[in-house]
């Protein structure tokens, strides 16, 4: 399994490296993107665990998820996907709404906590870019020292990726956070039909994602974030 993962990583890296870009530069950018993604999804899940715990649910603490340690949140397959295709997933945080004082409201707060964390990280990255690189769109960066180029790439990647993650997780596709929000908005037969068809909805969502039909949405988010970074 480890050997297969390494082969997939090398193949994916070579496929995604543009011609003319030094392998060292491409490897550094890949490492920075992976680091940003790992931090983003781990803090996303930690936010779920933290809010659920504050609202009275001991489940995240009992299952070891109330921690910033990435090892508690990373999923082996999801981590491999991060390395191979720069997009993956973490282990979902288990919660028990029966512990909540106000289950309907508190479940919504827990679901929103993850995307909210990503938006906070996005906003922080945008502010850092605007403070450290005020002439971002006008400056020629080729003469910058490597650390400065890497820092700019890291912050831009963090801003874009966290924004995309926030929007992606708000889609009403199980098991994303948006699906939990939609459940709270439905009732009666609509809720029953939605729960009965969750697997089908998940498959349709996966097909849309793999076919690139959601790419225009993510591209629009990326463009808007870059505009905010440069203005």
Q: Which residues are annotated as catalytic?
A: 45
Cβ-based neighbour number of residue 155 at 10 Å: 24
DSSP 144: S
CA distance 58 to 76: 25
Could you identify the residue written with the tokens 């009403």? 172
CA 128 centroid distance within chain: 19
Contact 98, 107 (CB under 8 A): no
Please say whether the dihedral angle defined by the alpha carbons of residues 46, 39, 17 and 166, taken in this order, is positive or negative: positive
Tokens representing residue 231 in the block? 């203005």
Residue 57, burial from CB neighbour count under 10 angstroms (0-12, 13-18, 19+): buried
Bond preceding residue 35 cis, omega within 30 of 0: no
Residue 177, burial from CB neighbour count under 10 angstroms (0-12, 13-18, 19+): buried
């Amino acid at each position: 399994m480890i050997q297969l993962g390494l082969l997939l990583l090398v193949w994916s890296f070579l496929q995604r490296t543009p011609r003319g870009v030094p392998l060292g530069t491409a490897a550094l950018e890949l490492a920075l993107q992976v680091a940003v993604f790992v931090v983003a999804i781990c803090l996303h899940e930690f936010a779920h665990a933290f809010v659920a715990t504050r609202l009275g649910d001991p489940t995240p603490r009992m299952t070891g998820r109330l921690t910033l340690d990435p090892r508690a949140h990373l999923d082996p397959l999801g981590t491999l996907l991060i390395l191979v295709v720069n997009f993956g997933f973490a282990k979902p945080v288990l919660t028990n709404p029966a512990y909540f004082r106000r289950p309907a409201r508190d479940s919504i707060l827990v679901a929103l906590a993850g995307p909210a964390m990503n938006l906070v990280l996005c906003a922080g990255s945008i502010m850092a870019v605007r403070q450290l690189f005020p002439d971002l769109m006008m400056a020629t960066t080729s003469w910058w020292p490597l650390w400065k180029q890497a820092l700019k790439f890291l912050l831009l990647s963090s801003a874009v990726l966290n924004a995309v993650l926030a929007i992606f997780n708000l889609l009403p596709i199980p098991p994303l956070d948006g699906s939990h929000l939609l459940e709270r908005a439905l009732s009666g037969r609509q809720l029953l039909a939605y729960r009965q068809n969750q697997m089908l909805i998940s498959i349709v969502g996966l097909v849309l994602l793999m076919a690139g039909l959601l790419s225009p949405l993510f591209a629009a988010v990326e463009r808007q974030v870059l505009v905010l970074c440069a203005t």
